[in-house]
Structures are given as structure tokens and as C-alpha cells.
Structure 1
Amino acid sequence: MALRAPVWAMARRDGNRGQGMDKRQAAPDGPDSAARAMALLEAGDRDGALALLHAALSARPACRDADVLHGMACVARAAGRPDLAIGLAGKAVALLPAAHFHITLGCALREQGHVEEARAALAVAVLREPRDARAHAALAGALGELGRWAEAEASLRAARALCPGDMAPLLADRGQPAGAEALYRQIVRLLPDDGAAWANHGAALFALNRHEDARVALEHAAALAPGVAETQNNLGLVLMALGHLPQARTALERARILAPGDARIAVNAATILDELAEGDAAEALYRAVLRDPILAREAEGARAQFNLGTLLLARGAYAEGWRHLEARSRLLPPMRGQGVAEWDGASLPRGRVLLYAEQGLGDAIQFLRYLPDCLRRASVVLDVPHSLHRLLQTMPDPDGQIATRCTVLPPGDPLPDDVVARCGLISLPHRLGMTDIPPFAPYLLPAPAPDLGERPRVGLCWAGNPSFRFDRRRSIPAHRLAPLADVPGLFFVSLQYGPAAAAPPFALERSAEGDMLDTARIVAGLDLVITVDTAIAHLAGAMGRPVWLLNRFGGDWRWSATFDRAEPPRWGDRGSRWYPSLEQFRQHQPDDPDTAWAAPIEAVHAALLRWRVGFATGPLADKSA
């Protein structure tokens, strides 16, 4: 689960963010509603902003309220829907051609890929209000993306002249990541001694997963302006992503000293403490954020609550941990069935529950083990990624519940009319009141692919999804696994997917590409799987196949010691109660990333030598559990 990602902040000199108003207050009409909604949106309370705007629209006809329409356009942009924002901002402009309406329209057009149209809208904004530095800065962004750098620089100079103290707040709208990075590179050239310019360039580089470059930019920003909390915060996040945990802690501690009331920074500081196995201190910070009734309702409160949930689960406080994990619904994008009531876990005499996957394939596979318990209480419409659909057909169904009480929703199909409740897969332990892991039996059972030889077959997966900003900590540079090729008599098969598959650590058989059933058939024919923390670990574990997990220090909550098996492992550090056939090879301290994987890989190499010797005496697939 990738939600325990800290909060990135654009660098600013103005310190703490303002707190949002209580969304239970009565919403006034028109411009006042829009102004209060914008304050909520700035504070991270998108739902509160939307509630105010909806209330205003119900009180006044939308055709007469340009400010409210513009506010809804801003909310749409914040929700990642520039297509909706374009229509709403366009209606606002038609009613009242204000410069800031044109800015929102131009930014939404740019985000949707209509860069020339965006330039035109932003040029109108500049003409209508030539003293608005935001209009000049936004226009510079569009011009830069069009490659019109001389004009972009002129617009930046105009914005700088209008706002000589600090341009950073004007440049928070970054548009497309690659174009934003190029623009910020130009800003740094224009303002080489401006710490905020360097800090925002670092933010754009981090958005492109150019972590080393981001670190250089942010360290330079911190040298130019050492007293800026947001720069230290962002530097801490980059260092965390790179695996430099002690240095990340130092930067985030500096940020907290500079801005002790900033909840974003407090949550980030708690996250690094949790990663460094300082759970008591992390818990204290999370609970301090949640004690503030306003912060608890905002995005920072949701992150604090979710992260607290993962910490409690890692400690074995399952009931409270599952309950706090529910806060993820406030952080994730909208899922299917938004207008349907949440299922409380009670038996349903009529109607069905929409049971949906929320995040990665690994999470979906892990929590499918709760499906039989769910079906004892309700019939289900299951909405999971299409790549899992054929694999689901291999689930054992001794009492016929899956066949009679579970329907898999085809891609693109509308929600059936008889769906009366909804529930995320990860919510099942909480909704079902299950405070411990149910007994394990393999629950994905594909027939194996044909065996291609007599040598032991070992599958290898060394990297996760590179689009996840903190993937560098769980993935292993392929060349570091090269020593495994020295173990004689083994046949290695690549289970790697994505860009990393193109650069294997040594010669591997490339497994067939396809959906998860095709991958599962390959896994079913292997004698052992060695993987980092990806969906492959969950797939092999759910199938009951022997799997060795190379796991980072301070890894995901589900691999924490509280979920270890009591029985001593055969090969690694500990087995897992999630998957009895899985053993971990853990990093035991927060080493420098250049050396952090050395000990676990050496341990895997030694275990493989012993495993290979033992293989001659009988099939080890039956011994690894």
C-alpha cells in the first residue's frame, strides 16, 4: 500500500499554512461562499470547499454566480479533473471575464494538453489585469511549454517586477511535470540567488523522480535560505526517497523547529521516525495532530490517522489499526459507487455489496483472502483490475459461495441497480470485525505452465513501480543481484515487469507477458520465487509457493515482526502469517543506500547454496512452509 507517502510542499517563505474553517458553519451565498471555499481548498479541505459551493448553488441559480462557478472549477482542478474545470471556468468567464477566471481557465487548458489555447487565455488575463503577477507567471509557464523561451523569460521578469519579494507563491501551478521542470530551470537562471526558485526547481525534479538532481537543487536552496521550513521539509522527503534515513530525519527536525505548528511537517517527521523504528515518538506526533479538531478534519489529519493505523497494525493493535486505516478514503481519488452507502459489515437480506480494489495489485491479492468471509454475510459485485479477472477463476470454491454470491464487474460496465452498499477490499478486516489474520490456505490455484527442464527453477523480481516516488527504497538495482548467478545448477526466470525488465542482472529466461493468470502459471511451475516487495510476493504467497522476500529496513506494516510466524524459518529471518510459504531477508539497520542491500543479498546467496544442495534430496517446494 503506497499511501504512507509524506506530504510534498512547494517552497514558500510565508511559513505555516492557514487552517481551514469548520465546514459545519453556515454557508453564505455568492462571492462570500466562493472566498470561504477557496480558503478551505488552500488548507487542503477539498470536500469542505465543495460542500460550501454546492450549498451556494442550491441557494442561487448557477447562471448568476460566476464566483461560485469559478470556485467549482478550482475544486475540479484540485481533484485532478481539468476537463471539468475547463467547462466550469469557461461558464464563469462568459458571465464575468475577470482576469483570475482566465488564469484558472488557462491553467486547466494547459493541464489538459491544450497549451496554445492556454496561452491565449492567459494572455487575455494579462491584458485584463497587467498588474497581476500570477497572470504573468502562469503565462510564462505556457510559453515555456511551447518553447517560446524569450517570451517566457519576459513574462517571468514582469512577474518578478510586480512581486519582488518572493515569486514562489505565484508559481505553485506547475502544469505538466516536464514542462514545469523546464520552466523552473529558466527561473533559476533568471534568479540564481533566489532560494525559493531553487527549492521549486527541486520540487519539479522530484515530481519527475529525478531524485539526485532534486537533492542537489534543494541542498543549494537550503544553503541560500537556511531558515525556510518548506525547503528543509522537501529536502527531508527527497533524502527519504533516496534511502538516506538519518539525514532525512535531520532535515525534517530542522523543518519542525522552523515551523512547529505546521501539521504537514509534523506528519512527515513522524513518518521518518516510524521508518527508523522509533514508533513511540512517531505515534506521539500523529496523535498530537489528531487532537486538534480542525486539523483532524483536514488532509493532514487524514494522513496522520492513516499513518497511525499502519503503525498500530505493525505493533499488533489490530482493531484500532484497521479502524484508523479507514482514513485512506479521504486521501484516495474517488472510487466507484460514490453515491452508495458504506457497508457496515452486517448481513444483507437483499441487495449486493460493491467490493472494490483501491490501489495496487498486491493489495487486491492480499485482501482477496477475506472474500469468503465477506460472502457469508452478503452477495458481492467485485470490481478489481482487469488483469486479475481470469486469475480469480482459480480461487477454490468448495461450498459454492463464490460461484453463486460473487459477480466480477466487467470493465466499463455500469454499476448494477441492486448494489446497496460499498466497501474497499482493504476495509474488510475492519467491517467484518476480524482482529487477527484468518487461517491460511492457498486461495489462488492456477495450473502450472509446462516444466521446461530438470534444474531447479527460480523466479526473480527486483523492482516495483517506478512511478511511486519512494520506489527506490524497496527496489534493488539489478546489478546488485549478479552474485546470485554464481549459485550452480539453477535456472533463473524473470518475473520482472515494467521498464526494469529490460536490464536484468544476468541472463534470465523471460517469462511470457500477459495478465496475472499468465504470470501465476509461470510462478506455479517454479521451485522458488525471490522478489522485493511487489505484487509478485503476494501472488506467490497466495498460491502457497515458496517465496523469499528481500525487504527494506522500516518496510511496509504487513511485513512487520508482529505478523511473523512463531516457527523458526528454514532459510531467512522470519516467516509470515500472511503467507506461510514466505520468508523474509530483511535489512536490519538504516544503512546508506549504496550498502543497504549487501547483507540481505549475501544472506540470500548463502541460503540459495544450501537450498540447492537440499534440492537433490527432494522437492523443496513442500519444505519451505
Structure 2
Amino acid sequence: MKRVTERLSQAVTLHQRNQLDAAEKIYLEILEDYPRHADTHHLIGLICHEKGDNQAALAKIERAIGLNSTVSLYHVNLARVLSGLGRDSDAVFSGRRAFDLDPMNADNLSDLAGALIRTDQPEQALEYAIRALTIQPDLEPAKQNLASAHFEIGVRAQGAENIILAEYHYRAACKTDPNLVEALVNLGNVLRLQLRLEASLACYQAALKINPSLPEAYGNLGVVTQEMGDAGMALTYYNKALSIDPNNPEIRRNRSQALLKSGNFEEGWREFEWRWHTRHFKRFIRHWSKPRWGGHLLKGQTLLIHAEQGFGDTLQFARYLPLVAARGARVIVECPEPLQRLVASIDGVTKTCGFSELPPQHDYQLPMMSLPGVFGTTFENIVNEVPYLRAIKPEVEKWHCEINRGSAGFKIGIAWKGSANHQRNSWRSPGLSSFGKLFKIPGIRWFSLQKDDEDTDLLEFQPNLDLIALGSSVRDFADTAAVIENLDLVISPDTALAHLAGALGHPIWLILPYASEWRWFEDRKKSPWYPSMQLFHQPTRDDWVGAVDLMAQELEQLIL
């Protein structure tokens, strides 16, 4: 046995010097004499693994464990082989067995963390990576796995819209591994969602210092600079991103927004079609088994126009439906149920249907927001004839009685926020308290056009403010249209209500953030989409009070 020990020591020395064939020859000779020698089976398995033959390695190490299952190192290396074979779930099992036998093996703890990450168990991976670094603080693989675990937990939290938790884990990932560009980019993304734009910008710039060829970072720089109000610089960043990754659908869709905001409609509408290749829009693809309409004459054929995105988008682009009908089409519009009565009133619309029902037989189809591109819309020829939506007369008469009860006065309907489901709702919504200066102007009767009558803002202000709530009595947009027709003015943030008032040709004052959406363009007081609409931008970022001050000056001149 002494001779076996000497021969094994000789083979291990050769093995450590990477003389694998010479070492393997001695190991095999030992097994000829001692076929149940577990260490030798294990060491041959390691040589197979190092040569890239993980299947042979698996057989040898499993044989060693069959001979002696109490050696932690056997299980450690079995886990590595299993991971090499793509069997990470089995690797986790073997890593846990090794941990039971030797809980102080930092390498195994790190390996186990890596396997747990690859099997989508980042919370457990975090625990084992921390254990590994407690034992061996300078273990680089453990640091990398700790950073990866934080990153993956951050991704989960962000997907669940827990932005604060996501930020914590992305920051922890960046602290552990400052070169983890994915964490820097994602940290920038969650900071942007919190409207912390300068901090977001710094993250993308830091990512580009590590990897100057990262298209996502350039693309996100474009998004942030656009949200800061600089569409020209945004285009520069988008173009740089696309020079690296020309077919990135997310970047191309974002670029379309900057092009449209800059008034470059021809290229903007073309780029806008890339939305259907993005992760978000792919799930909304419908009816594409039918040919896409390209604008040609239809001569009595049926065209299905299907709404997309928000209520406001549908109301804005419904202006094209009479033009579609003028091409000879029988026009069917698929749209959300709250819009159906109103859309059915548009000239040329034959029928409406909801998303949950099977649409009538049709020959062609087109997403509604593709209509401007089909009709070759430019900034100079925007279709802006209003009204193209009409309130239902009996509904208008009903609301006339309701609204004109009580004292006389200039009647203003107001909304102060959009849907809570909108990702950027806090960015576009001033809140009721921002309008305090307007409520002090005498001679006005105020009507709340918020749908949620029980809103905490309304409950807080109602005792001190003559603000009449109408929301609970309003069933759909047709009802809202009838209400609007009985008011003198509507004041709203960038929500569907503003589009509705504009499409009715009714006076509407739209309050906007400093860097508004593409459709409102830059530095304009009037909207080319809606002749009856006046725009009030924040004079500086986050300055709703400044925008309301401008509005108050106009309102005093209007009614006093």
C-alpha cells in the first residue's frame, strides 16, 4: 500500500503540473491493482473534466462516491461536472450534499451559489455567496456570484414593479462588482422610473466607461435626455446605439418618438412600426393572419382597424377613420368597451366591437396608430378638422339639467391625474393641490372629471372647495363627452380626457410636464392636433406651480 501511496503522489504531482496524460496513465495503473480505490477514480474524473469530457468525468466521480460517499470534495467536483453538462438542478443537489459534509468549504459555497442563480433561485444563491465570503473574503468567484444574485433579485423586483427593492439590489450588485454593466444599466433604468434623471444619466455613462460599445446604454441615454427635454441630443444617442446594433427594436421605437417630437414625421412613422418587434408590443399583435392595409382603394371591402395602447391614443387617431371610409372601405373598429359608443358616432364607422369578442369577417386589418403613416401625415398636413367625435344629444340634454342646477358661473371641468396603471403617471399628473391658485379665482363653478369620486385628494379638498363630483354617474366616454359639451372649459393633464375634449372641438387647457410626450412637440402653446387646445408646459422640470401660475393669468383674463 505504501507503494500505491507513492505512485499516487507521483501522479498527483504530474496532474498539478498539467501533465494530464502522464498522470492519467499512472492512475489507470493503480486501478488495475486496486479497482476500488475511490481517490483514484475521483482524480481520473477530474482529468476527464479538465479535458472537456464531462460525461466520462461524471461516470468516474460517481464511481468514487459509490465507493465512499463521505468525502465532501467528491460531491464538490461532481457538482462542477454536472454544471458542465448543463444539469444545474442536479449540481445544486450535489453542492448541498457537499455542504452537509463540509459547511466551511468556501469554493463549494460559491459554486452552489452559481448553480442556484442558474436555476432561478437567486435568494438562496445570495445566502450561500455571503457564507462563502464570510469564510474567504477575497474569493473572486463568490464576489461575482454575490453580485449576480443581487442583480437577479433586482430584476425580479423590477418585474414586480417593486422599484425601491430593485434599486437596493442593483446598488448592492454594483458595489460588489463595479464592472457589472448590466447592473449599472438596470440601476439607471429604475432611477429613471423614479424621475431621478441626473442619477440615471450617471449610471449609463459609468456603464459606457466600462464598455463603450454597449447599445443599451446609449439607447437609455437617449431616453433620459429626451425626458430632460432635449430631443436633438436624444437622437444623437439613439443613432450611436443603432450604429452598434442597427436592428434593436426598443431603441428604434424610442428613436421614433424623438423623430416625431422633432417634427420629422416621414422617418418617425416608419420607425414607429418597430414597436411591433418590442417585448411590450408583441403581446398585443392581433389579426395579422389578414393582409395589412397599405392605403389603397378598397371598393366595398371590409377593413378592421384595431385600437392599441391607451384610450387617449385611440381618441387621437380615430380622426383618420372618415378618411379610411372615403377609400371605399366598410370600417369596423375594435376598441375597448368604454370607447365603443363614442367611436360608433364617427363618420364612416360601420360597426365597433370589443377585444373579447370575435370581430366580424374582414378582408384587411391595420393597427390604429399606423394610420398616420399610411396616410403620409407630415407636420404640415396634420388632420385636425374637429369635431370628429360627437356627443349623443339625449345624453347632452340629460347632463345639461344636472350641471346647470344651483348657482350660475363659468363652468370648468377639471382632472388632476391619469390612470394609476400608467407607468409614468406621477410624471404627467400634477395632483389636485397644484391647482390651488385657480380655485381662488371667483365666479367659477368647478366640476371634477376624475372617475374615482372616493379619491383621497377629492375627499381632502371637498369640505373647503366647491368642487362637484360627477365621476360616479359617468359610465363611459360617451357620457363624459356629454358632460364636456355642457362645460365652458376643461382643464386636464395628459390623459384621455384631454384628447376627448380636443376631438369634440371643445376648449381644453392641457397642463404638461417640462418634457412632454412626442405628440405635443416642443415650445408650443397651441396643439396642431386640436385647434381648441391650449398647452401649458412646466417652465422648469417638476414645476407644476409655475405652469398653474401661467394658467391662472389666462383664466383671470378669460372670465374677469
TM-score, normalised to structure 2, is 0.69
Change (3 A) 1:210 1:611: farther
Distance 1:458 1:535 in 2: 17
Q: Does 1:362 align with 2:318?
A: no
Q: Deviations over 1:334-375 (max 9, x none)?
A: 433121111111112352211110111100000011111111
Matching residue within 476, 490, 515 for 2:444: 490
Aligned to 1:475: 429
SS at match of 1:549: strand
**Residues 237-252 of structure 1 mapped to structure 2, 5 A cutoff:** 237-252=189-204
- 1:284 and 2:284 aligned: no
The match for 1:222 among 174, 178, 186 is 174
TM-superposition CA deviations, 1:27-51 (whole Å, max 9, x none)? xxxxxxxxxxxxxxxxxxxxxxxxx
Determine the structure 2 residue equivalent to 1:506. 461
310, 319, 343: which is aligned to 2:266?
Answer: 319
Measured after TM superposition, the shift of residue 411 of structure 1 is 5.4
In structure 2, distance between residues paired with 1:266 and 1:320 = 20
Q: 2:365 matched to 1:422?
A: yes
C-alpha distance after superposition, 1:166-185 (max 9, x if no partner): 865543x8xxxxxxxxx85x
**Superposed displacement of residue 189, structure 1:** 6.8
Aligned to 1:388: 339
Aligned position for 1:53: none
Equivalent of 1:235, from 177, 181, 187?
187
Q: For the aligned residues, what is the CA RMSD?
A: 3.4
CA-CA distance at 1:529 after TM superposition: 1.6
On the 8 A contact 1:456/1:489 being kept in 2, the answer is: yes
Q: Does 1:253 align with 2:205?
A: yes
* Counterpart-to-counterpart distance in 1, 2:109 and 2:437: 55
Shift of 1:437: 0.4
The change in CA–CA distance for 1:415 and 1:196 in structure 2 (over 3 A counts) is same
2:527 maps to 576
Pick 1 or 2: higher relative contact order, CA cutoff 8 A, min separation 6: 1
CA contact (8 A) 1:485 1:506 kept: no
Structure 2 unmatched ranges of 5 or more: 1-78, 94-102, 131-142
Moved more, 578-587 or 362-371: 578-587
Asked if the contact 2:174–2:184 (Cα under 8 Å) also holds between the matched residues in 1, the reply is yes
Distance 1:468 1:491 in 2: 29
Residue 284 of structure 1, CA deviation: 2.9
Partner AA of 1:585 in structure 2: F
- What letter matches 1:231 in structure 2? A
Larger Rg: 2
SS in 2 for 1:580: coil
TM-aligned CA deviation for residue 188 of structure 1: 6.0
Q: 1:167 to 1:391 in 2, by over 3 A?
A: same
Partner Cα separation in structure 2 for residue 138 and residue 239 of structure 1 = 34
How much identity, in percent, do the aligned residues show? 27
SS at match of 2:365: strand
Distance 1:611 1:163 in 2: 71
Deviation, 1:319, is 1.3
**2:461 alignment partner, SS class:** coil
Tell me the SS of whatever aligns to 1:503. helix
Residues 276-300 of structure 1: CA deviation (Å, up to 9, x unaligned): 23333322332344445xx444xxx
Q: Which residue of 2 aligns with 1:443?
A: 388
Distance verdict in 2 for CA 1:215–1:548, change over 3 Å:
farther
Please name the residue that 2:322 is paired with: 372
**Residue type of the alignment partner of 1:329:** W
1:47 maps to none
Residue of structure 2 equivalent to 1:532: 493
- Once the two structures are TM-superposed, the CA of residue 462 in structure 1 deviates from its matched residue by 1.9
Aligned to 1:598: 545
Q: Tell me if structure 1 keeps the 8 A contact 2:384–2:531.
A: no
In structure 2, the residue corresponding to 1:305 is in which secondary structure? helix
Report the counterpart of residue 133 of structure 2 in structure 1: none
Structure 2 counterpart of 1:390, which letter? Answer: R
Query: Is residue 263 of structure 1 aligned with residue 215 of structure 2?
Result: yes
Q: How far apart are residue 502 of structure 1 and its match? A: 4.2
Which of 251, 264, 277 does residue 330 from structure 1 map onto?
A: 277
Measure, in 1, the Cα distance between the counterparts of 2:495 and 2:195: 18
The answer (yes or no) to whether the contact 1:133–1:170 under 8 Å persists in 2 is no
Measured in 2, the distance between the counterparts of 1:137 and 1:473 equals: 46
Mapped partners of 2:207, 2:457: distance in 1:
39
Q: 1:560 to 1:219 in 2, by over 3 A?
A: same
Partner residue in 2 for 1:466: 420
2:331 alignment partner, SS class: strand
Q: Give yes or no for contact 2:223–2:234 (8 Å, CA) kept in 1.
A: yes
Deviation at 1:597, TM superposition (A): 2.1
Structure 2 counterpart SS, 1:430: helix
Structure number with the higher helix fraction is 2
**2: CA distance, partners of 1:500 / 1:190:** 48
User: What is the identity, as a one-letter code, of the residue corresponding to 2:468?
Assistant: E
Rounded Cα–Cα distance in structure 1 between residues aligned with 2:357 and 2:153: 42
| 2:302 matches 1:352 | yes
Measured at CA, do residues 207 and 158 of structure 1 come closer, stay the same or move farther in structure 2, by a change above 3 Å?
Answer: farther
Q: In 2 relative to 1, CA 607–296 (structure 1 residues): closer, same or farther, beyond 3 Å?
A: same
TM-score by length of structure 1 reads 0.62
Q: 1:550 to 1:199 in 2, by over 3 A?
A: farther
Whether contact under 8 Å (1:335, 1:358) holds in the other structure is no
Task: Provide the rounded CA distance (Å) in 2 between the counterparts of 1:161 and 1:496.
Answer: 54
C-alpha change, 1:587 and 1:367, in structure 2 (3 Å) is same
Question: Does the 8 Å contact 2:117/2:125 carry over to 1?
Answer: no
Q: Distance in 2 between matches of 1:136 and 1:470?
A: 43
Q: Is the 8 A contact 2:113 2:128 kept in 1?
A: no
